[in-house]
Amino acid sequence: MKIWKTALCAAALALATGTAALAARTDLVVGVVLEPPHLDPTAGAAAAIDEVLYANVFEGLTRIGPNGEVLPDLAESWTVSDDGKVYTFKLRTGVKFHDGSDFGADDVKFSLDRARAENSENAQKGLFAAIDAVEVVDPATVKVTLKHPQGSFLYNMGWGDAVIVSPKSAATNKEKPIGTGPFKFQNWAKGASITLVKSDAYWGEPAFLDKAEFRIIPDAAAAVPAMLSGDVQAFPFFPPDAVAQIKDDQNLKVVVGSTEGETILAMNNKKPPFDQLKVRQAVSYALDRQAIIDGASGGLGVPIGSHMPPSNKAYVDLTGRYPHDVEKAKELLKEAGLENGFKTTLKLPPPPYARDGGEIIASQLREVGIDAEIIPVEWAQWLDQVFTKKDYDLTIVSHTEPNDIDIYSRPDYYFNYQNPEFNKVIDELNLTSDEAKRTELLQQAQKILADDAPVGFLFELPKVGVWDAKLEGMWQNAPIQANDLTKVKWLD
Amino acid sequence: MTAYLAKRLAIAAATLVLASVVVFAVLEVVPGDPARLMLGMNASAEQVEQLRTQMGLNDPLLLRYLHWAGGILRLDFGRSYTYSVPVIDLVRERVIVSLPLALIALALSTAIALPVGLYAASRHGRMGDTLAMGATQFGVAVPNFWFALLLVYLFAVWLRWVPAGGFPGWSAGVGPALKALALPAVALALPQAAILARVTRSALVEVLSEDFIRTARAKGLPWRAVLWRHALRNALIPVVTIMGLQFAFLLAGTVIIENVFYLPGLGRLVFQAITQRDLIVVESVVMLLVASVIVVNLIVDLSYALVDPRLRHGR
């Protein structure tokens, strides 16, 4: 009797596991390097927040697609007035927040007004600076009036910092985020992982995954065995220098894409001798980009000659403006009255692209007679000394914000670069919404920067993603720092 | 005994006060602005200034110290800048990982070290001693993150017995949680065991050359009894001292192992807080750790008194 029971149990168990194996998996563990400080994308600069919540939990009026395009999201459609100052958004109906409350025009007004308020915690207040007023026309229509036309307005509304939150949960989103997305927040084990589950009340196409866990793995040495053992099935921002250890694994796929991260050798344009164009040009000629890319990004970065990612449609290839030419560099230094070279410093923040790239750049500079002393700094120190106090000569950093060529026009930015001609182009760009005209202006801006060499343009930071070969729908590129899981599914 | 205890307690209190001043002062000197770190590169100077005022960072130094130290006296450890939750909650979440890990590692290390030390000492100068000490030399010399990675590749990637890292939480059940702590505990325990074994051996070797051992043997006691009852007990003081130091180290100094296994422990909390300039977390957690080290030392001091009756009567 007992034997029969056991056999029956075993058979039932075999049957159960058999059917389970037929259906595709619906859970996923995603590895991320940094833990978000909190879970409210509208109240912090950390990219780690968007990497978990953007598109998954929170949605905006518009959203940024996998290749950087602006797509409708909570706004179904919109019209722009002829003077480019009034945007009327038609909102989707039947949308609910994860706490069950209805989404409507009031929430949009609340979110935008909250973000641009005097005491707002929003880290990207600049995105909302052009907004003059937000009006609720009816529950499904919102009218946004701008102070002046802004070409990038629809793009700006697609940032993680511009997502729509509910007035009921805005204050508690840091701990318990409530959005309108296809996933809802389930649990945050601090220091370990954040878990999202599928939202059944989603307005759009439901997610394929039932459960997604973001596991925090800060160490590159730990990321490799985590992927190899199958504990983690996707690592969208994998440390590039660790790729060599996993690329032979048949079960894993390595996908190299582009980012918005222009990696540059910044120079303090007010501090002698970098205030002289000839010296900055000499530095640019001294740089051998390919050697830097090989050493600092595992050979995966793409060289740039100005401040624009090669994946952008307005990109012009200006890498030929200052090719690697040691003789030319020495000549320029001589003309600048520095034939014996000079001593300077190079401050390096912690990311490997800066620390590894710094060693290579220092040796390349030495070849033309510039003796750069390497000073490693922490991020906190870098932000304090270099970014805020502008106490530096040279530094290496990647500027990962999208569409950020205007940083060269900002007064008091840490480059200490000022060129009225360039500022004029940027001012005009801000007022232009015609695509063709914008492209032309962006190209003009790129050329001015390439000629002026306010910084040494190095390479576009690669995005190296590693995931299970049976996984589909992960983003190849990173037009924004996000891990959009809404289309991710397991094959078979 | 009371005088002994009172003296120890007074020293402990003084150490705490001194440590609080040092911890606070050091973090004042370290460059880096927590407000700027939280807001990132795109925020304006006014925004940063506003946040600094909100966070109370613009108050005078002494006021901030008194505010913080006063809070700690009332067991209020403040709120984390970055996580914006009470520090004590963060600590509670981490201690339930770090404390069991430290205890398991210490138990494991002791379980390995004492027999090895005893064996080596009883074979003093012979082949067994040389082999055992060679092995411990290896244990001391091997970098623990490298050893930890070897363990991961062997047991997680190849054999797939345990996960490669992470911690599922005690809510996932004791089994999975212990499984997640197994490799880190071994990686932590072996180097400590090597050190402890060497200390045990040298302490024993010294004791074994004492007259009373000869007397014990001469009166016909079996070798095992001599070793366990007479020699080990007299050799315990340095061993217990080292164990106390090791426990303090295992509780907080395990940031490297916690990184390799991405465990949400105390060491990583402090490390993270330092890089993010979450000053209040660093200050409060370091104070808690100082307190726990002091408590452990106190226990060690008191256990001396248990081991050695002479200390009870305050020489």
8 Å CB contact of A45 and B43: yes
The tens digit of pLDDT for each residue in B280-301 reads: 899 988 898 888 888 888 888 8
Asked if residue A492 has pLDDT above 90, the reply is: no
The tens digit of pLDDT for each residue in A89-107 reads: 999 999 999 999 999 999 9
CA distance A483 to A215: 13
What's residue A2's pLDDT? 47
What's residue A169's pLDDT? 94
Asked if residue B75 has pLDDT above 60, the reply is: yes
What's residue B97's pLDDT? 92
**pLDDT confidence band for B274 (50 / 70 / 90):** confident
Query: Which residues, in sequence order, are CB contacts of B218 under 8 Å at separation 6+?
Result: none
8 Å CB contact of A228 and B263: no
What's residue A22's pLDDT? 55
- With contact defined as beta carbons under 8 Å apart, do A86 and A141 qualify? no
8 Å CB contact of A222 and B260: yes
A129 vs B: CB within 8 A: no
**pLDDT confidence band for B314 (50 / 70 / 90):** low
- With contact defined as beta carbons under 8 Å apart, do B239 and B203 qualify? yes
Quote the distance between the C-alpha of residue A172 and its chain's center: 25
What's residue A1's pLDDT? 44
Nearest Cβ partner of A219 from B32, B34, B262?
B262
For the residues A3-14, what does the mean pLDDT come to?
Answer: 49
8 Å CB contact of B276 and A225: no
Nearest Cβ partner of B33 from A216, A217, A384?
A384
Q: Which residue has the tokens 């390097």?
A: A33
Asked if residue B84 has pLDDT above 80, the reply is: no
Q: Which residue has the tokens 């894993």?
A: A252
Asked if residue A331 has pLDDT above 90, the reply is: yes
Asked if residue B18 has pLDDT above 70, the reply is: yes
Nearest Cβ partner of A228 from B32, B90, B157?
B157
For the residues A338-360, what does the mean pLDDT come to?
Answer: 93
Q: Which residue has the tokens 């601090």?
A: A190
8 Å CB contact of B33 and A380: yes
What's residue A18's pLDDT? 45
Asked if residue A4 has pLDDT above 80, the reply is: no
Query: Which residues, in sequence order, are CB contacts of B82 under 8 Å at separation 6+?
Result: A37, A38, B34, B38, B273, B276, B278, B281
In the 8-state DSSP scheme, what is residue B43?
S
A222 vs B: CB within 8 A: yes
Lowest mean pLDDT among A10-14, A352-356, B89-93: A10-14
What's residue A322's pLDDT? 95
Asked if residue A404 has pLDDT above 60, the reply is: yes
Asked if residue B52 has pLDDT above 90, the reply is: no
What's residue A244's pLDDT? 84
Name the residue with higher pLDDT: B81 or B203. Answer: B203
For the residues B170-190, what does the mean pLDDT come to?
Answer: 91
What's residue A297's pLDDT? 86
What's residue B277's pLDDT? 84
Query: Which residues, in sequence order, are CB contacts of A278 under 8 Å at separation 6+?
Result: A332, A333, A335, A336
What's residue B299's pLDDT? 86
SS (H, E, C) chain A: CHHHHHHHHHHHHHHHHHHHHHCCCCEEEEEECCCCCCCCHHHCCCHHHHHHHECCCECCCEEECCCCCEEECCEEEEEECCCCCEEEEEECCCCECCCCCECCHHHHHHHHHHHHCCCCCCCCHHHHCCEEEEEEEECCEEEEEECCCCCCHHHHCCCHHHCCCCCCCHHHCCCCCCCCCCEEEEEEECCCEEEEEECCCCCCCCCCCCEEEEEECCCHHHHHHHHHCCCCCEECCCCHHHHHHCCCCCCEEEEEEEEEEEEEEEECCCCCCCCCHHHHHHHHHHCCHHHHHHHHCCCCCEECCCCCCCCCCCCCCCCCCCCCCHHHHHHHHHHCCCCCCEEEEEEECCCHHHHHHHHHHHHHHHHCCEEEEEEECCHHHHHHHHHHCCCCCEEEEEECCCCCHHHHHCCCCCCCCCCHHHHHHHHHHHHCCCHHHHHHHHHHHHHHHHHHCCEEEEEEEEEEEEEECCEECCCCCECCCCCCCCCCEECC
A379 vs B: CB within 8 A: yes
**pLDDT confidence band for B1 (50 / 70 / 90):** low
If you measure CA to CA, which chain A residue comes closest to B148? A222
Window 210-269 of B: residues touching A by CB (8 A cutoff) are 259-265, 268-269
What's residue B292's pLDDT? 87
CA distance A397 to A261: 9
pLDDT above 70 coverage of chain A, percent:
96
Instruction: For strands A131-138 and A141-146, give the pairing.
Output: antiparallel
A218 vs B: CB within 8 A: yes
Tokens encoding A1:
């009797």
pLDDT above 90 coverage of chain A, percent:
74
For the residues B92-117, what does the mean pLDDT come to?
Answer: 93
What's residue A185's pLDDT? 97
Asked if residue B28 has pLDDT above 70, the reply is: yes
Name the residue with higher pLDDT: A383 or A235. Answer: A235
Asked if residue B78 has pLDDT above 90, the reply is: no
Exposed e or buried b per residue across A343-378, where buried means at least 16 C-beta atoms within 10 angstroms of its C-beta: ebebbbbebbbbebbbebbbebbeebbbebeebebb
**pLDDT confidence band for A120 (50 / 70 / 90):** confident
CA distance B259 to B146: 12
Per the DSSP assignment, residues forming a β-bridge with A30 are A214, A234
Asked if residue A9 has pLDDT above 80, the reply is: no
Nearest to A343 by CA among A369, A366, A371: A371
What's residue A19's pLDDT? 46
pTM of the model: 0.84
Find the distance separating the first CA and the last CA of chain B, reported in whole Å.
11
Name the residue with higher pLDDT: B267 or A75. Answer: A75
The tens digit of pLDDT for each residue in A170-228 reads: 999 999 999 999 999 999 988 899 999 999 999 999 999 999 999 999 888 899 999 99
What's residue A15's pLDDT? 46
Asked if residue A323 has pLDDT above 90, the reply is: yes
Asked if residue B26 has pLDDT above 50, the reply is: yes
For the residues A407-434, what does the mean pLDDT come to?
Answer: 91
What's residue A220's pLDDT? 84
SS (H, E, C) A463-490: EEEEEECCEECCCCCECCCCCCCCCCEE
8 Å CB contact of A380 and B44: no
B176 vs A: CB within 8 A: no
A197 vs B: CB within 8 A: no
What's residue A95's pLDDT? 95
What's residue B313's pLDDT? 67
In the 8-state DSSP scheme, what is residue B79?
B
What's residue A448's pLDDT? 96
If you measure CA to CA, which chain A residue comes closest to B146? A221
